[in-house]
Structure 1
């Protein structure tokens, strides 16, 4: 059994070590509990911008090149990611050089130069333009759907920000955000690989012990929800239309959450999933269909994505909604449930071979309060019944939770057709 070792320093920094002696490389990550939902109004994208700027140089490493070469010297390649609620800095490192990797990341977080802001604004603006069409309208289905799921809330805003908010960010904003959220009590350091916990804890204490900061301010919670289905169509020049169906779901610690994970697999989790069989193998109107689960402290969603020719859009919507309603109306057979449940249990088993996945499970899990080992997830999956899946589907796929987004060269009248299909879905649900 792989289990994490946890040490909390006197300044509140949590350090997690996952000992995996059979491996040859260590994964080092630092999770900070700040993301898009913490960005102030008019400064959307600030958390993501700060993540970029920390790579532009520190008091010890004068440039991004200096940071990059320092990591290369210890067998690493640094990277980072910002999502709605967390920012992660990570790199593979040689297990003999974990302390040096910690020192480089500490320099970035604690002693950044915060320089190159104008250059970074141009870079991030180019990234943001990838989500806009020729008229400047958002065409990223994820962003459009988020606005429908969580209207007038930071979760509904793009993590990258808007062209206007990116341009408005200045050094004072970055300094304030760094001081407010980059504090030890909101940070988790995790090392997974062929390392010893006592050595990792000792190194982290020496590197981060002088770090101090007040408790980060509370995160604004979602308090409102839609009471009717939401629809948004956006024109874009393409050969296909992108269809996204998303349902407002459950927080990550909700009792339904394991059932939601299995529902995603059953409906859009591979070659034998229901939507894949119907839309691709039977009808031939999509190349693939993907499902994704989103989960936060107080809310969540289950989303399905596909692309199809404009003429096929009404059929794709109708068939997808029919399959979701069937999931809520009819209990799954024992054989189908066993197949998808066992596949999930096997995937959990395979994750033991990945230092990266163990770092996410126990590092990010510590950050957001999801402290579960593989055996606990496997056991919970085994307890899921057909009745529990049906109950969850009835609650999740209720019409008032539905958000439909279409982006692409849709034909005249299709929005009206989509509304009619959703009305029929609501009547029959």
Structure 2
């Protein structure tokens, strides 16, 4: 394969050979259902994902009632709530039936809610793939959203959010998105807040389900031991058996706009006071969008700055000074916005010094650039990590699904490495300078005073955080992909909520 392969929404059939002799095929049914497969020679298992391009950012506030119709309820928290509920039974299967189907064959099944999509997935032996397709199809297309199960699962989700709020790194990660992105929908927590989950109604979740789980919303991606024609047949049969009408022609739903939008900062400083031994700290700023041509440059920058044990942050903060156990950077890119973050966990007494070091390393990279040796090491790290990741059918399945949903193009390993080879030191320095010049947000969770960070923040920010509404921000937490392409989607962001 030479270059990326486009996935036009109006092309019924597409087939091509990818790197490593993998055969990729794509079928768009007249109903708008999209089915993709990557057949890997020698594989004895397969991973299947059912995707809908709806995530936490797509939830809506309540809309005012019209004279002729009732008010539409708020759907905040519905995406994550619905992901849980689809495991709770269909017209023909109980929740136990679903669990037994996979446990009886040694398979794995789960789901994840992200900011821009939801995915239900399973991994099974090749001979059990038809069963996995049938069960996942039944779950997605024929859920009953039982009222009793709804209330039971409300309690489960509240416990999940409580567990996340007990993890200071999760609290810091979600708080950072709100601090950097402000009122943008991507700034909201993926799982909703306890208040959202307490308030959301079954009617709101049902409305969310009916509006977003339709044939032309569905993407099915399978990687591993898979025969494409047989896959298409079983998906069609299973969807019809579940009650979906595949006879009405429909175009696949349009992909999101990939144009960056203006971002208004939420807060320069957020302090979440907790009686902890460490301060979990994140410094963040607006990043790049998923379609930005610099996304591979971002992967290189992240590798050099905080992507491994030889990175600048790890060496400076941990190895040379012993100030932290965990320290790293990450990039999260979405359709119209992105976040770049620097993380460290350290003692409260050292948090001001560590914050200065984190930001200082970014500014040093922006001002003085990177060395040839660092460029070579980053290229080797990203190349090797990408190749190793593709040994796993989970990664290949995820790459297919996200390629279809997000950018509408497929990039195999050979093309990813070709793009990586084009990145030079000037590209990395220029991107670092762009990041460093953006509005800065700092989040700290622990027993810490806002004044500790006054040296690196705008004047007055510490006082505002200590007394203002953002001073006690708390939020619950924020999926697989190859390393070179990590900056092209939210795969490198704080983790998606999983069931």
Same structural fold, with TM-score higher than 0.5 when normalized by the shorter chain = yes
Does 1:311 find its partner at 2:349?
A: yes
User: In the alignment, what sits opposite 1:47?
Assistant: 79
Whether the aligned pair in 2 keeps the contact of 1:76 and 1:92 (CA below 8 Å) is: yes
Whether the aligned pair in 2 keeps the contact of 1:293 and 1:302 (CA below 8 Å) is: yes
Write the deviation string for residues 223-278 of structure 1: whole angstroms up to 9, x where unpaired: 44237982211211100001101121111110111111111111111110000000
Q: Among residues 395, 419, 423, which one is paired with 1:384 in the alignment?
A: 423
Question: What SS class does the counterpart of residue 85 from structure 1 fall into?
Answer: coil
Gaps of 5+ in 1: 424-429
Whether the aligned pair in 2 keeps the contact of 1:95 and 1:194 (CA below 8 Å) is: yes
Q: CA deviation at 1:421?
A: 9.8
Does 1:21 find its partner at 2:41?
A: yes
User: In the alignment, what sits opposite 2:152?
Assistant: 119
User: In the alignment, what sits opposite 1:427?
Assistant: none
TM-score, length-normalised on structure 2?
0.79
| Equivalences, count | 419
User: In the alignment, what sits opposite 1:375?
Assistant: 414
TM-score, length-normalised on structure 1?
0.91
Q: CA deviation at 1:300?
A: 0.9
User: Distance in 1 between the 2:296 and 2:403 partners?
Assistant: 15
Does 1:77 find its partner at 2:108?
A: yes
Whether the aligned pair in 2 keeps the contact of 1:20 and 1:192 (CA below 8 Å) is: yes
Whether the aligned pair in 1 keeps the contact of 2:307 and 2:330 (CA below 8 Å) is: no
User: In the alignment, what sits opposite 2:306?
Assistant: 268
User: In the alignment, what sits opposite 2:457?
Assistant: 419
Q: CA deviation at 1:216?
A: 6.0
User: In the alignment, what sits opposite 1:364?
Assistant: 402
Write the deviation string for residues 286-317 of structure 1: whole angstroms up to 9, x where unpaired: 01212222111111112122100001011101
User: In the alignment, what sits opposite 1:335?
Assistant: 373
User: In the alignment, what sits opposite 1:59?
Assistant: 91
Whether the aligned pair in 1 keeps the contact of 2:182 and 2:266 (CA below 8 Å) is: no
User: Distance in 2 between the 1:378 and 1:236 partners?
Assistant: 44
Which segment drifts farther, 404-413 or 238-247?
404-413
Whether the aligned pair in 2 keeps the contact of 1:251 and 1:300 (CA below 8 Å) is: yes
Does 1:292 find its partner at 2:330?
A: yes
Matches within 5 A, 1:157-168: 157-168=188-199
Gaps of 5+ in 2: 1-18, 62-73, 462-499
Whether the aligned pair in 2 keeps the contact of 1:80 and 1:87 (CA below 8 Å) is: yes
User: Distance in 2 between the 1:333 and 1:66 partners?
Assistant: 57
User: Distance in 1 between the 2:410 and 2:273 partners?
Assistant: 43
User: Distance in 1 between the 2:104 and 2:206 partners?
Assistant: 30
User: Distance in 1 between the 2:317 and 2:359 partners?
Assistant: 12
User: In the alignment, what sits opposite 2:71?
Assistant: none
Q: CA deviation at 1:399?
A: 3.9
Closer, same or farther: CA 78–252 of 1 in aligned 2, 3 Å: same
Question: What SS class does the counterpart of residue 130 from structure 1 fall into?
Answer: helix
Closer, same or farther: CA 218–277 of 1 in aligned 2, 3 Å: closer
Question: What SS class does the counterpart of residue 10 from structure 1 fall into?
Answer: coil
Q: CA deviation at 1:43?
A: 3.1
Question: What SS class does the counterpart of residue 353 from structure 1 fall into?
Answer: coil
